[in-house]
Amino acid sequence: MGNHKNAEEAFRAYVRKMADYKEANAVLSWDLMTGAPPKGKEQRAEVIGMLATEFFKMSIAPEMQEMLAHLEEEDTYIGLDPVMKSMVREMRKEYEKNKSIPATLFQEYTILTSKAQVAWEGAKQTSDFAAFRPYLEKIINYLNQFIDIWGYEGHRYNTLLDKYEPGITVEMIDPLFADLRKKSVSLLERIQEKGKASNTAYLKKQYPALEQRKFSEFVLQKIGYNFLAGRLDESAHPFSIGLNPGDVRVTTRIHERDLQMALFSSIHEAGHAIYEQNIAPELVGTLLSEGASMGIHESQSRFWENIIGRSEAFWSYFYPNAAAAFPEQLAGASVQTLYRAVNQVQPSLIRIEADELTYNLHIMLRYELEKALITGDLQVADLPGAWTEKMDDYLGITPSDDASGALQDVHWSGGDFGYFPTYSLGNIYAAQLEAALARELPDYKEAVRRGEFDMITRWMTQHVHRHGKMLEPAEIIRSATGEGINADYLTAYLENKYTDVYELF
């Protein structure tokens, strides 16, 4: 018994050190993207690469294998508590995945992606894809090396998908997206043919940046983002980063001629952050104190941004506050005016500005391009042109420059191929979770109308947040909703919402 306890304590201490490295790296990454001076960014990228390499080395060290082998012995494993069992499961997965990758290769890749993110930011500012192209070519080359090392079943892209959403494959997503695209286009056509136009002029007036930020902070505080455990900053591309449940930071992007950009990007990132702020405290330092998957993470951000943030109940409560913050801009507006305005359906160039209905088409475009880049069916040099073609095919519009085209997202500069599909999976999960929430708490919308959001956060914490990585995505969805993944809730939600907004009766 004593040996077992000593082994557990040694393993916990070892993993805690890995978690500390990860947290330190997260702080540096946040600073790199929000406040590091230009001349310090390259050296900062080197330090980030070093810490990530130390984490990587620890994950595949002989000590890790020895501890896992001991803890996995039947007589030992049976006595482990649930947290320890999950730690063993996750670290075994990490060990098996990483043990075959040379540490030098991993370090090269980490440094590359850190530098690529800086290069992307500069290339986007000047709308110069050629400046970013060599970085993306190298990233794809490294990813294909990793795929060859890890192996794959079916499509090469499946290995990358599994990193973000375990168990999901191209073979599953292709028909799912095909059906979603068909139904989305059908509803879009009905709206364009018969829908009652929304008045969006109120959203495009001059909104001072400082006042927008104050209003966003007010909204975030009300919906449950804890500013004692986080902060709001600005960055080129909005993101959230969790150091631990007591420090989960978010960024936003402000445009003075668009009230929606800062508000909804703030709510979106706060959705991610509320998730991580409510993970069970006992999971801190275990590497389980993070989201179960990117799809589950996106379910939380999209739930708050769209299902709550764009609801009539939400605006019934926040309209007086918005009118007080922006009295001149919103003079003459009403709850219904803003509700319809923020739910306008209009194909757009920018993914993060897209409406709920066309958003998934943006995801499908990126998903198709990613698959082609990984297989070599599309060369990086041809990416801007391919992007333009698909935008025309999917949405009927084309970008005028690279900044609003292939350079608009930060994801590829970080090597995050396989991430984009999780946004649409998140939409599917969010609608399914909302249906379960409504069954258990049928008056939750009335609570939102009163500005009371606690019951929602408590429900999500009970069913989703607190588990961290203790449960896998499919387990969370089945446990919370009583059934497996079901996209019908999303299509029904979109149909019902836009029938109301556009009066398609």
Closest CA to 428 of 190, 187, 180, 238: 180
Closest CA to 396 of 341, 449, 346: 346
* Single-letter code of the amino acid located at 299: S
Q: What single DSSP character describes residue 258?
A: B
> Do 268 and 216 form a contact (C-beta atoms < 8 A)?
no
- CB neighbour list of residue 247: distance below 8 Å, 6 or more residues apart: 229, 230
Strand partners, 255: 258
Binding annotation for Zn(2+):
268, 272, 298
Angle, vertex CA 76, rays to CA 71 and CA 78, nearest 5: 110
CB neighbours of residue 96 within 10 Å: 12
Residue pair 165/422 in contact by the 8 Å Cβ criterion: yes
Q: Identify the CA nearest to 52 among candidates 95, 21, 15.
A: 21
What are the phi and psi torsion angles at 241 (to 5°)? -145, 125
Vertex 397: Cα angle to 395 and 398 (nearest 5): 125
Residue list for the binding site? 268, 272, 298
Buried b (16+ CB within 10 A) or exposed e, 202-237: bbeeebeeeebbebbbebbeebbbbeebbebeebbb
Q: Which residues are catalytic?
A: 269
